[in-house]
Amino acid sequence: MFHLFLHFAVPAVVVGLLYRHRWQLAYLLMMATMVVDLDHLLANPIYDASRCSIGFHPLHQPWFISLYVILCFIPKTRIIGLGLIIHMILDSVDCQTTNGVWIS
Ligand SMILES: [Zn+2]
């Protein structure tokens, strides 16, 4: 549950630090990046608290994460890239705390 809370709180902090002048749009875009978790629907079971998302789900693969990093360097996609990278970092920290690994 704390992991889920972080998915809302960490982007809020980043938006507060970097995008204060247009925080509503920035926060909305960062929250929209959570659609990346729709790839969980392809897994069976859909939710498994002991499973590490990073390296398991299709949109949580390392080469996709590389793409998210590239998005951070393009001004028009930077907020989306940041949202996705924050998401992947939080998922990876969750892997570390639940399974002792950063990637499955
Ligand atoms: Zn995820």
How do residues 63-101 score in pLDDT, each as one tens digit? Answer: 999 999 999 999 999 999 999 999 999 999 999 999 999
Instruction: State the Cα–Cα distance between residues 19 and 26, nearest whole angstrom.
Output: 7
- Ligand 1 center–CA 1 separation, angstroms: 14
pLDDT digits (tens, 9 = 90+) for 39-66: 999 999 988 888 999 999 999 999 999 9
Q: In this structure, is residue 104 part of a structural domain?
A: no
| Residue 30 is assigned to a structural domain of this protein | yes
Residue 65 counted as domain residue: yes
Dist CA 103 CA 54 (whole Å)? 5
Q: Length of the chain, please?
A: 104
Residue at 22 is within a domain: yes
d(CA 19, CA 40): 30
How many angstroms does the Cα of residue 88 sit away from the middle of ligand 1?
Answer: 6
Quote the tokens at residue 41: 């629907």
Query: What's the gap in Å between 5 CA and the centre of ligand 1?
Result: 13
Domains of the chain: total: 1
The whole domain housing 41 covers 2-99
The pTM score is 0.92
CA of 39 to the centre of ligand 1 (A): 8
Going from the Cα of 44 to the center of ligand 1, the distance in angstroms, rounded, reads: 15
Is the residue at 18 inside a domain?
yes
- CA of 47 from ligand 1 middle (Å) equals 11
